[in-house]
Chain A
Amino acid sequence: MIAADLLLIAFAAFIIVGGFLAVEARNIFHNALYFGLALVGVAGIYILLGSEFLGLVQILVYVGAILVAIIFAIMITPALFLKRSPRNTLKQIVAAASGFGVSALLLFLCLQSKPVSWNQKISFTEDVFSIKQVGAMLLSKYALPFEIISVVLLIAIIGALLNAREEN
């Protein structure tokens, strides 16, 4: 097989194992670690699809900031040491049926059209570093969502600080 197939199989294995065990493991810290594995697999898929900027941003922001914040919350609140409630088997079966059933139905609807393969006729004449193109788009055509995202992040920071304050 060619190298792209091998890389796809490796990153798909990361995503499948990490994604399934992130919701199936009993210890909350193991959930967070398997979630990190799934995020690294998703970053690999981004690089395989041709956008190396997004793969690195994914590792920086998702693994480096969001996953670390989740692990902080696991460490600060004693979530690891609380006793576990007994399992509800009916709830587990209904959750699995609805989760995988809805997703299988959507996938079946998506695959009704004819299969699409990679278009070999697009020739990259100019330089195709994705960070340059994404930066140009963010500052010229999508400048308004870019500025609004900054305001949203500012409000999120202020809200998070106000929320976690102790009541005096």
Chain B
Amino acid sequence: MAGNLTTYLILSFFLLACGLYGLLKRRNLIALLISIELILNGAAISFLAFNRFLFPASNLGEVFIVFIISLAAAEAAIALSLILAVHQSIKTHNIETMDKLKG
């Protein structure tokens, strides 16, 4: 089971499913950010699994996962600063109340 590519693909697609489900269901801004990070982690697992099983001599998947983690950190920083900025003007976290273009 640990030597099969299918197992890691199932894990990667399970994280994608949870991230999509949370992204469509939750209304809290921070929960949306957590769902996006879950999707990114699922994609990263599938990168490394394909690298190890189909192209064992290369390590391009590892290099790409370093880029994915750095970009996820940058995106989380900006998203959290946006959440702080929104919260200073609108005192709520419910995304359904943010339907005006000007704060």
Contacts and interface: CB of A to CB of B under 8 A. Distances in A.
Interface in B55-98: 56-57, 59-60, 62-63, 65-67, 69-78, 80-85, 87-88, 92-94, 96
Given A4-B3, A106-B16, A107-B13, A66 B66 contact: no
Contacts of A61: 69-70, 73
Interface majority SS on B: helix, strand, loop or mixed?
Answer: helix
Interface of B: 1-11, 13-28, 30-31, 33-35, 37-38, 41, 44-45, 48-49, 52-54, 56-57, 59-60, 62-63, 65-67, 69-78, 80-85, 87-88, 92-94, 96
28 contacts: A5-B2, A15-B11, A28-B31, A35-B37, A45-B48, A49-B49, A53-B62, A54-B48, A54-B62, A66-B37, A73-B30, A85-B27, A91-B24, A95-B21, A95-B25, A98-B24, A100-B20, A103-B16, A103-B20, A107-B9, A117-B3, A138-B63, A149-B71, A156-B77, A160-B78, A164-B81, A164-B85, A166-B88
Interface of A: 1-2, 4-5, 7-9, 12, 15-16, 19-20, 22-23, 28, 31-32, 35, 38-39, 42, 45-46, 48-51, 53-54, 57-58, 61-62, 65-66, 69-70, 72-74, 76-77, 79, 82, 85, 91-92, 94-96, 98-100, 102-104, 106-107, 110-111, 115-119, 122, 130, 133-134, 137-138, 142, 145, 149, 152-153, 155-157, 159-161, 163-164, 166-167
